[in-house]
Amino acid sequence: MRSGPAATEPITVAFSPFESTALFWIAADQGLFDRNGPPISLQPYDSGAATLGGIVNGDADISIGAAEYPLVRQAFANSSVRALAVMDKGDFIYLIGRKDGGSSYPRT
Q: What is the pLDDT of residue 5?
A: 47
φ/ψ (deg, to 5) at 15: -140, 155
Indicate whether 87 pLDDT > 70. no
- Between 45 and 9, the more confident residue is 45
Percent of the chain surpassing pLDDT 90: 9
| Structural domains of the chain in order of their starting residue, each with its CATH number | 11-101 (3.40.50)
Closest CA relative to residue 2, chosen from 27, 49, 36: 36
Check: pTM over 0.75? Answer yes or no: no
Say how far apart CA 15 and CA 48 lie, in whole Å: 7
Indicate whether 19 pLDDT > 70. yes
Q: What is the pLDDT of residue 45?
A: 92
Say how far apart CA 97 and CA 102 lie, in whole Å: 8
- Please write the tens of the pLDDT for every residue from 31-73: 888 888 778 888 999 988 899 889 889 999 988 878 778 888 8
Say how far apart CA 79 and CA 70 lie, in whole Å: 11
Indicate whether 99 pLDDT > 70. no
Q: What is the pLDDT of residue 4?
A: 46
